[in-house]
Amino acid sequence: MSGVRFSGAVSLFAFLVLPAMAAAQAMIADTSGRKQPLTTWGIQFEELEYRYSDDDEGLGVWNADAFYGTDDFKVRLLSAGEYEIEEQAYETLEHQLVGQIPVSRFFDAKAGVRFDTPEGPDRTYAVFGVTGLAPQWFEIDASLYVSKEGDTSAALDAEYELLFTNHWILTATLDATVAFSEDEDIGIGKGLVSTETGLRLSYDFIDRAVSPYFGVVHERKYGDTADLAETAAGSTEDWFAVIGARIAF
């Protein structure tokens, strides 16, 4: 027990040395960055691709989002568009600016605005929704849209990744839209509007920052929306071969 040092000895030591070393210094408050909420940002193109349809149409398509914020509040800008290369026109062009707060361990609630500015009539919507990770690793994004004209619709996006290896990843996506009222000017009928189903095989080429992929996408319109499309001599069902890259930075 000869090695036992009593804490008293330590305190005596501290008593003698401390005043000498930092006489007039009070304990400071932590105003360093560490005491601030961690702010972070990111930009991702989930899809940045060329689509070639079964009736020989070429489209440039992207689906991107950028976020900035903390664990408690994030601002997110979503951008999606489909550009018809031959006709030099945006079939769809959609931007959303939403605020996002956590509401459960795996889900955020979001609210904001959406601006659609494709070829043809524009639309402005209020957006409410949830986004997060469902059991079994399904990434879910569900939104309710209310247009300035009072038309309401809802969209569900789901995504699942299957890892063939830790670099070869098959991503399955399903986007479905339902309208609760008709908006004939933009070709939306009441009921199930459309689905877009995709399968993309990607390879993580540079970290997870650049992942080239190829795949297949199926688009289909339903019910009244399909009728409206037929009336306008548009297609109600399309298959696409796609090639592109997922980008994150």
Partner 1 sequence: MNIRLGAVVLCLLMPALALAGEYDLTVDRVEIDTGDFVKQGIGYNGKSPGPVLRFKEGETVRINVTNNLDEMTSIHWHGLILPYQQDGVPGISFPGIKPGETFTYEFPIQQAGTYWFHSHSGFQEPDGAYGAIVIEPEGREPFRYDREYVVQLTDKHPHSGDRIMRNLKMMPDYYNRKQQTVGEFFSDSSEQGFWNTVRDRLAWGDMRMMKADVEDLQGFTGLINGKGPEQNWTGLFEPGERIRLRFINSSAMTYFDVRTPGLDMTVVQADGNNVQPVTVDEFRIGVAETYDVIVRPRDEQAYTIFAESMGRSGYARATLAPEEGMEAAVPPLREPARLTMADMGNMHGMDHGNMDMGSSDDMAGMDHSSMSGMDHSGMSGMDHGSMMMDNQAQNDPFYARGSGLVPTAANGGKFLSYADLRAQNPLYEEREPTREIELRLTGNMERYSWSINGVKYEEADPIRLQYGERVRFKFVNETMMTHPMHLHGMWSILDVGAGQWNPIKHTINVNPGTTVYMETEVDEPGQWAFHCHLSYHAAAGMFRKVIVEGGPDSQQAKTEAMAEDGGEA
Give the nearer residue to partner 1 in terms of CB position, either 93 or 158: 158
Beta bridge partner(s), residue 116:
94, 123
Contact 52, 58 (CB under 8 A): yes
Question: Least Å distance between CB 71 and partner 1?
Answer: 5
Give the nearer residue to partner 1 in terms of CB position, either 163 or 233: 163
What's the chain's length in residues? 249
Q: Distances from the Cα of 29 to the Cαs of 23, 34, 36, 39, 75, in angstroms? A: 18, 12, 13, 21, 30
Give the nearer residue to partner 1 in terms of CB position, either 42 or 121: 42
Question: Least Å distance between CB 105 and partner 1?
Answer: 6
Q: What is the distance between the alpha carbons of residues 224 and 158, in angstroms, rounded to a whole number?
A: 24
Question: Least Å distance between CB 133 and partner 1?
Answer: 6
Three-state DSSP state, 182: coil
Give the nearer residue to partner 1 in terms of CB position, either 55 or 72: 72
Question: Least Å distance between CB 145 and partner 1?
Answer: 26
Q: Which residues bind partner 1 (CB under 8 A)?
A: 1, 3-7, 10-11, 13-23, 25-38, 40-42, 44, 71, 102, 105-106, 133, 135-137, 162-167, 207-208, 248
Q: Which residues of 94-117 are buried (b: 16+ CB within 10 A; e: fewer)?
A: bebebebeeeeeeebbbebebebe
